[in-house]
Amino acid sequence: MPTYEHLRKEDPEIFAALTGEMRRQQDGVELIASENYISAAVMETMASVFNNKYSEGYPGRRYYGGQEFTDQAETLAIERAKTLFDAGHANVQPHAGAPANIAVYFALLEPGDTVMSMDLSHGGHLSHGHPVTYMTKIFRFVRYKMKDPETGAIDYDAMRTVARQEKPKILLAGFSSYPRELDYAAMKAIADEVGAITMADMAHIAGLIAGKALRNPFADGFDVITTTTHKTLRGPRGGMILTRTPEIGQKIDKAVFPGFQGGPIMQMVAAKAVAFGEALQPEFRVYAQQVIRNASFLAAFLMRNGVKLVTNGTDNHLLIIDCIRSWNLSGGAVERVLDQVNITTNKNMIPDDPRKPMDPSGLRIGAPAVTTRGMREPEMEILGTFMLRAIEHRGDPATLRDVREEVTAFCRKFPVPGAQA
Ligand code: DSN
């Protein structure tokens, strides 16, 4: 792990911010479903001299000299990603998930073409065509939804009807707050019927797919997969695009560079290779399965204690609490109570939420980070109990202080990699 001795001397203000963040991570419970902890090896690679190198182009086809080691690192990242996800082609240069999705739109669509994706309040993502994003000025986005938020079942009949009417060029499977599995085979059949390309944004569940705990959309014939690399996949902050079709791969490579991005961030590309190497190890499968077991155990514990969950449970790493129906509190109010006891979560929309996105009805929680820390089912029960106590005694500062102290003592038994200065 870095010792930060130079930073401590050269920039005490940033050193203070960094050590504050280390303490926050070590003394708190991270339940944000999209967050995780990287290993020491990934962290070392991120903080390395690969940062100093410009590498526009792809391995063997660069616009600058001096690329023998960047080529080596990027090729390893590509080959490991292909093995991990059973893909024929990988582009590991997208800076993040939204740029990966945008690059796919630019690669495969003409202005005015239609994408069909999941409604944001039903679990979709901003970069799947939310009206506030610039992509909606260029492409048309139409929506599909759950037919029953009590189970999470998607209305595939309605999806087919809308697809026949709207003729999407891309049918997009993917989500950032949907606790169930999608039926990729059903979506592929609908896409084939209307001549659409199938795209899965597996950012949230990439590590669970890599760890063979959830189904790989390629197994059902999907054309393109996008992902971030820092959520359940436990790598550096970044994005990636995979395909099994060589022509699509060529278009995607051109769209990422030079179409949309400039030079790749080579320390992140190298760190992706390290993380993919870790995800190829047998222990990662154990991790992926434990994430799902922890989420499902916590869901069952909360429901037994009267908490109302959207879809009444989970098949993956996350749960959405309906805070209005559970406590007559907004998601934001519950997020703030839990913040006071060092439990970090995020407010979230529920399906067709009548409230505003900055103060929605739900709260999203997820198990990837606590599982990396080594927590298992008994710890999920302890965490659930902390949460319920804090919410029940939200008006009582003394109890909140007690809970925070207990949470801190509990967290110190589970070290966060890299959070000790
Ligand atoms: N910010 C990520 C999430 O929390 O789901 C996705 O953008």
**76-109 pLDDT per residue, tens:** 999 999 999 999 999 999 999 999 999 999 999 9
Centroid of ligand 1 to alpha carbon of 68 (angstroms): 35
pLDDT at 421 over 70: no
Q: Which residue from 29, 66, 49, 36 is spatially nearest to 266, judged by alpha carbons?
A: 49
362 Cβ neighbours under 8 A, 6+ residues apart: 177, 310, 320, 321, 322, 323, 331, 347, 348, 349, 350, 353
- When pLDDT is cut at 50, 70 and 90, the band that residue 217 belongs to is very high
Q: Which atom of ligand 1 is nearest to the CA of 35?
A: 4
Q: Which of 32, 125, 320, 365 to mutate to test the pocket of ligand 1 (most atoms within 8 A of CB)?
A: 125
Q: Which atom of ligand 1 is nearest to the CA of 127?
A: 7
pLDDT higher than 80, residue 2: no
- How far, in Å, from the CA of 9 to the mean position of ligand 1? 35
Listed in order, strand segments (DSSP E) in 26-76 are 29-30, 57-58, 61-62
Of 34, 132, 201, which is best to mutate to test ligand 1, by the most ligand atoms within 8 angstroms of its C-beta?
A: 34
CA distance linking residue 403 with residue 338, whole number of Å: 10
For the CA of 203, the closest atom of ligand 1 is: 6
pLDDT per position as a tens digit, 366-378: 999 999 999 999 9
Domain map (residue ranges) of the chain: 29-36+283-411, 44-279
Using the Cα atoms of residue 261, residue 216, residue 183 and residue 350 in order, give the sign of their dihedral.
Answer: negative
Strand pairing of 29-30 and 318-322? Answer: unpaired
Residues 6+ apart with CB under 8 A from 320: 177, 179, 309, 310, 311, 348, 350, 362, 363, 364
> In 333-389, where do the E strands start and end?
343-344, 346-348, 362-366
**pLDDT given for residue 115 in this prediction:** 98
Between the CA of 208 and the centroid of ligand 1 the distance, in Å, is 16
* Mean pLDDT of the region 327-356: 98
DSSP assigned state of 27 = H
Class of domain 44-279: alpha beta
Determine the pLDDT at residue 153: 96
Residues 6+ apart with CB under 8 A from 388: 302, 305, 307
Average predicted confidence (pLDDT) for the chain:
97
- For the CA atoms of the chain, what is the radius of gyration? 22
Residue identified by tokens 């001549």 is 195
Ligand 1 nearest atom to the CA of residue 364, by list position: 4
pLDDT band at 3 (very low <50, low <70, confident <90, very high): confident
C-alpha 109 – ligand 1 centre gap (Å)? 24
Give 176 Cα–ligand 1 centroid separation in angstroms: 6
Name which residue sits closest to atom 5 of ligand 1, judged by CA.
176
The protein residue whose alpha carbon is closest to atom 2 in ligand 1 is 34
The β-bridge partners of 89 are: 243
- The pLDDT > 90 percentage for the chain reads 98
Fold of 29-36+283-411: Aspartate Aminotransferase, domain 1 (3.90.1150)
Q: State percent of the chain over pLDDT 70.
A: 100
Write the DSSP string, 286-349: HHHHHHHHHHHHHHHHHHHTT--BGGGS-SSSEEEEEHHHHHS--HHHHHHHHHHTTEE-EEE-
Q: Which region among 71-75, 150-154, 381-385, 416-420 has the lowest average model confidence (pLDDT)? A: 416-420
Ligand 1 atom closest to residue 97's alpha carbon, by position in its atom list:
7
Q: Which of 121, 229, 231 to mutate to test the pocket of ligand 1 (most atoms within 8 A of CB)?
A: 231
Reported as a single tens digit per residue, the pLDDT across 218-276 is 999 999 999 999 999 999 999 999 999 999 999 999 999 999 999 999 999 999 999 99
Residue 294 token pair: 């922890």
Amino acid occupying residue 22: M
- Bridge partners of 366, per DSSP, are 318
Give residue 202's pLDDT.
98
Q: Pocket residues for ligand 1 (CB within 6 Å)?
A: 34, 125, 176
Task: Find the helix packing angle between 397-411 and 331-340, rounded to 10°.
Answer: 70
Taking the centre of ligand 1 as the mean of its atom positions, its distance from the CA of residue 228, in whole angstroms, is 9
| Cβ density class 52-79: b for 16+ within 10 Å, e for less | ebebbbbbeebeeeebeebbebbebbbe
What residue owns the CA closest to ligand 1's atom 6?
176
Q: What is the mean pLDDT of residues 139-160?
A: 96
Which residue has its alpha carbon closest to ligand 1 atom 3?
34
Same fold, 29-36+283-411 and 44-279: no
Residue nearest to ligand 1 atom 4, measured at CA: 34
Give per-residue pLDDT as tens, 265-304. 999 999 999 999 999 999 999 999 999 999 999 999 999 9
pLDDT score of 172:
98
Q: Write out the catalytic residue numbers.
A: 54, 56, 201, 228, 231, 237
pLDDT at 419: 83
> Of 98, 30, 133, which Cα lies nearest the Cα of 343?
30
State the Cα–Cα distance between residues 17 and 20, nearest whole angstrom.
5
Strand partners, 140: 114
* DSSP single-letter state for residue 121: G
Rounded CA-CA distance 188/222 in Å is 7
Nearest Cα to 273, choosing from 58, 86, 2, 79?
A: 79
